[in-house]
């Protein structure tokens, strides 16, 4: 047994580090998701001039509603777990997992920092540095459709099926745009590894402008954001669910099964925020912060401890994620819903040609600048 | 050791899912089993270090093509029947046809045994593929997209004819 450990010590160390990172990062994401459900209600309350949830308390301590996610969780667990009589039992049970698992798996390729040295070992602040990470994002987000579709179909309810059909049509359409908007970034950074993309964004343009993706591809960023919100199935693209009048794919779901669908929607918000900041806003990069510390364009330098630099980078990534999450919540409570033909027209007649045009212009500019 | 286990495990899963798909009477469930087979094939590619092929398998086959299959199948009347009609003589005929096909397949695959297993291993397989596709074969590659475009236009023209006739 000791021989086995000695022979495979690298592998075991790697697996242990990966398991630890997964535990910490995913738990962080889960905790943030729980807070996001509260933030959603608080933001909507703020925008509608209400107070919002503030009653759930622990030992008389309400903390302005901080315990509401916990109360929601308890409520979800206590609800009746209902399966319609004609439903496909196995698929009905599996569908929430189909919705949640691909989204959670995607966090493995997102770099949340550069690296930290722990006992002389270099610990990359990313669960898995996959060389084709960007493609993996597209592949797994494509699989998330099955959760929506199976949820609608397996309940054997006509309204649920109609919701699922709307969902499948919407998600397939916007996924094409989502993939095409990322092609320009792929051309510029020349790598599909998300960590490579973030490292490349640490450079400076003209000596002072951080070379973030949004500087190279401002147009692609807007297209990406629209397509991502549509993939997320939230207002103004919430025809899949349409909680106020048109009933959605999870209408037969209750209890934790429903919670899994709702949870996956909120996890997707975080995922979109993380992807937007990773691809277009420099990920964990802080402008002018390098491994040794701050070096300002004027030449002034401020040396910083390695751990402080790592902390600043992780903090910057978290701040960007929180900002985009907040932005997506505000969008959700600001814009009214599209009609279905508007939704499809926007995707195929507006966004798709624009995304293709963006690729063409990016290629032409790169050719003109001799960067090919 | 782990890789071999993964290769045999996912290979076995692909075979099992395919067999179950063939004997599944519910069309939607059959499509889902096919999805499982496609995904385990993708995992097989991954275990063989063909990352790009594995990811393309998931994006194109599992993510796009199978979704359309399943969406189309769920709106067929057969998917909403509670109990599927039992197979009769047709099933036996089908099995016989399958046996003939399987025998032919084995016969056709026999020469493959003589081929030596390739030991050459390119680390940058996707890069090489891209060079070939956009280098010497760029004309054929672009021609193919025109063929697909023509097929899409033809499909739209065929389906929209009824609407204009009204």
Q: Nearest 5°: CA angle at A107, between A20 and A338?
A: 155
Residue B131 placed within a domain: yes
Residue A48 placed within a domain: no
Q: How many domains does chain B have?
A: 1
Q: Is A81 left (phi over 0), alpha (psi -120 to 50) or beta?
A: beta
Domain interval for residue A114: 80-368
Residue A29 placed within a domain: no
Size (chain A), residues: 372
Q: Which helix (H) or strand (E) holds A23?
A: helix A9-47
Residue A30 placed within a domain: no
Residue B55 placed within a domain: yes
Residue B121 placed within a domain: yes
Assembly ipTM: 0.82
Over residues A202-230, the mean pLDDT reads 88
Core vs surface per residue B66-95: b (16+ CB within 10 A) or e: bbebbbebbeeeebeeeeeeeeeeeeeeee
Nearest chain A Cα distance for residue B114, angstroms: 34
Q: What HEC string does B93-143 produce?
A: HHHHHHHHHHHHHHHHHHHHHHCCCCCCCCCCHHHHHHHHHHCCCHHHHHH
Note the pLDDT tens digit of each residue in A331-346.
988 888 888 889 899 9
A284, A198 contact by CB (below 8 A) = yes
Closest CA to A20 of A124, A106, A102: A124
How many beta carbons lie within 10 A of that of residue A172, not counting itself? 17
Residue A202 placed within a domain: yes
Size (chain B), residues: 166
Please tell me the distance from the alpha carbon of residue B143 to that of residue B140, in angstroms, as a whole number: 5
Query: Residue A119 class from Cβ within 10 Å (0-12 exposed, 13-18 middle, 19+ buried)?
Result: exposed
Residue B166 has pLDDT above 50, yes or no: no
Query: Residue B106 class from Cβ within 10 Å (0-12 exposed, 13-18 middle, 19+ buried)?
Result: exposed
Residue A10 placed within a domain: no
Note the pLDDT tens digit of each residue in B37-65.
999 999 998 888 788 888 888 988 888 88
What are the distances in angstroms from CA A241 to CA A287, A324, A337? 40, 22, 11
Torsion of Cα atoms, A287 then A137 then A167 then A152, to 10°: -130
Residue B61 placed within a domain: yes
Please tell me the distance from the alpha carbon of residue A195 to that of residue A173, in angstroms, as a whole number: 28
Which residue numbers of A have CB closer than 8 Å to B's CBs?
A: 86, 88, 91, 130-132, 135-136, 138-140, 142-143, 145-146, 149-150, 153, 156, 161, 164-165, 168-169, 172, 175
Please tell me the distance from the alpha carbon of residue A97 to that of residue A331, in angstroms, as a whole number: 27
What is residue A141's predicted lDDT score, i.e. its pLDDT? Answer: 87
Note the pLDDT tens digit of each residue in A90-139.
889 989 998 899 999 999 999 988 888 888 788 888 888 888 889 988 88
Angle between helices A145-154 and A158-189 (to 10 degrees): 170
Interchain contact, A132 vs B59, CB within 8 Å: no
Domain interval for residue B58: 1-78+111-159
Q: What is the CATH number of the domain that holds B67?
A: 1.20.120.1200
Phi and psi of B123, rounded to 5°? -70, -35
What is residue B40's predicted lDDT score, i.e. its pLDDT? Answer: 93
Nearest chain B Cα distance for residue A204, angstroms: 28
What is residue B163's predicted lDDT score, i.e. its pLDDT? Answer: 55
On chain B, the residues whose CB falls within 8 A of the CB of A168 are 67, 71
Counting one residue from A and one from B, how many pairs have CB atoms under 8 Å apart? Answer: 59
Closest CA to A266 of A218, A175, A328: A328
Residue A64 placed within a domain: no
Note the pLDDT tens digit of each residue in B79-101.
666 665 666 787 788 889 989 99
Residue A20 placed within a domain: no
Over residues A220-236, the mean pLDDT reads 89
Query: Residue A35 class from Cβ within 10 Å (0-12 exposed, 13-18 middle, 19+ buried)?
Result: middle
Interchain contact, B74 vs A153, CB within 8 Å: yes
Question: HSE on the CB side for A313, CA within 13 Å?
Answer: 31
Q: Checking DSSP bridges between strand A289-290 and strand A209-210, what pairing results, if any?
A: unpaired
DSSP symbols for A34-92: HHHHHHHHHHHHHHTT--------BTTB-GGGTTHHHHHHHHHHHS-----TTS-HHHH
A21, A115 contact by CB (below 8 A) = no
CB-closest option in B28, B59, B63 to A153: B28
Residue A4 has pLDDT above 70, yes or no: yes
Q: How many domains does chain A have?
A: 1
- Chain B residues 77-116 within an 8 A CB cutoff of chain A: 79-80, 82
Residue A365 has pLDDT above 50, yes or no: yes
- Chain B residues 10-69 within an 8 A CB cutoff of chain A: 28-29, 32, 35, 51-52, 55-56, 58-59, 62-64, 67-68
On chain A, the residues whose CB falls within 8 A of the CB of B80 are 156
How many beta carbons lie within 10 A of that of residue A32, not counting itself? 19
CA-based nearest residue in chain A for residue B33: A91
Structure tokens at A348: 């195929």
A117, A123 contact by CB (below 8 A) = yes
Phi and psi of A204, rounded to 5°? -120, 140
Residue B101 placed within a domain: no
CB-closest option in B59, B62, B71 to A168: B71
Nearest chain A Cα distance for residue B74, angstroms: 7
**Residue A301's beta-bridge partner residues?**
A295
Please tell me the distance from the alpha carbon of residue A205 to that of residue A11, in angstroms, as a whole number: 40
Q: In whole numbers, what is the pLDDT of chain B averaged over residues?
A: 82
Residue B122 has pLDDT above 60, yes or no: no
Phi and psi of A150, rounded to 5°? -65, -35
Nearest chain B Cα distance for residue A33, angstroms: 26
CB-closest option in A139, A156, A165 to B63: A139
Residue A361 has pLDDT above 90, yes or no: yes
């Amino acid at each position: 047994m000791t021989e086995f450990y000695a022979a495979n010590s690298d592998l075991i160390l790697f697996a242990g580090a990966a398991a630890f990172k997964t535990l910490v990062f995913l738990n962080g994401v889960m905790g943030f998701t729980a807070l996001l459900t509260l933030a959603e209600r608080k933001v909507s309350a703020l925008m509608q001039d209400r107070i919002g949830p503030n009653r759930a308390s622990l030992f008389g301590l309400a903390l302005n509603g901080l315990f509401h996610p916990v109360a929601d969780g308890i409520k979800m667990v206590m609800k009746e777990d209902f399966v319609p009589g004609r439903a496909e039992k196995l698929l009905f049970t599996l569908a929430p997992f189909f919705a949640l698992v691909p989204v959670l798996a995607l966090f493995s390729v997102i770099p949340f920092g550069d690296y930290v040295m722990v006992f002389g070992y270099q610990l990359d602040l990313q669960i898995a540095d996959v060389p084709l990470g960007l493609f993996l994002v597209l592949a797994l987000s494509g699989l998330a459709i099955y959760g929506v579709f199976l949820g609608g179909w397996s309940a054997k309810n006509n309204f649920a099926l109609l919701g699922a059909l709307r969902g499948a049509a919407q998600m397939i359409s916007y996924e094409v745009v989502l993939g095409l908007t990322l092609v320009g970034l792929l051309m510029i950074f020349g790598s599909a590894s998300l960590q490579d993309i973030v490292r490349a964004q640490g450079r400076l343009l003209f000596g002072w402008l951080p070379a973030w993706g949004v500087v190279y591809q401002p147009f692609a960023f807007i297209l990406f954001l629209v397509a991502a919100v549509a993939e997320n199935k939230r207002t103004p693209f919430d025809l899949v669910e349409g909680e106020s009048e048109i009933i959605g794919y999870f209408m037969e779901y209750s209890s934790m099964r429903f919670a899994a669908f709702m949870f996956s929607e909120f996890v997707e918000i975080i995922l979109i925020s993380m992807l937007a900041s990773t691809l277009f806003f420099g990920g964990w990069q802080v402008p002018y912060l390098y491994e040794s510390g701050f070096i300002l364009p004027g030449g002034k330098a401020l040396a910083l401890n390695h751990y402080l630099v790592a902390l600043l980078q992780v903090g910057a990534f978290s701040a960007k994620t929180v900002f985009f999450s907040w932005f997506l919540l505000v969008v959700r409570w600001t814009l009214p819903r599209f009609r279905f033909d508007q939704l499809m027209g926007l995707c195929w007649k507006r966004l798709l040609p624009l995304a293709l045009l963006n690729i063409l212009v990016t290629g032409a500019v790169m050719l003109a600048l001799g960067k090919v | 050791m782990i890789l071999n286990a993964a290769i045999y495990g996912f290979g076995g899963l692909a075979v099992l899912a395919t067999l179950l798909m063939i004997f599944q009477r519910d069309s939607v469930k059959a499509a889902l089993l096919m999805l499982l087979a496609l995904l385990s094939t993708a995992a097989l590619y991954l275990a063989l270090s063909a990352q790009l092929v594995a990811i393309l398998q998931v994006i194109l086959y599992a993510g796009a093509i199978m979704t359309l299959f399943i969406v189309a199948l769920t709106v067929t009347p057969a998917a909403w029947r509670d109990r599927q009609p039992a197979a009769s003589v047709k099933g036996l005929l089908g099995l016989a046809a399958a046996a003939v096909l399987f025998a032919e397949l084995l016969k056709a695959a026999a020469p493959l045994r003589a081929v030596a297993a390739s030991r050459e291993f390119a680390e940058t397989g996707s890069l090489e593929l891209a060079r070939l596709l956009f280098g010497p074969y760029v004309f054929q590659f672009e021609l193919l997209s025109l063929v697909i475009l023509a097929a899409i236009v033809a499909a739209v023209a065929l389906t929209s004819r009824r609407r204009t006739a009204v």
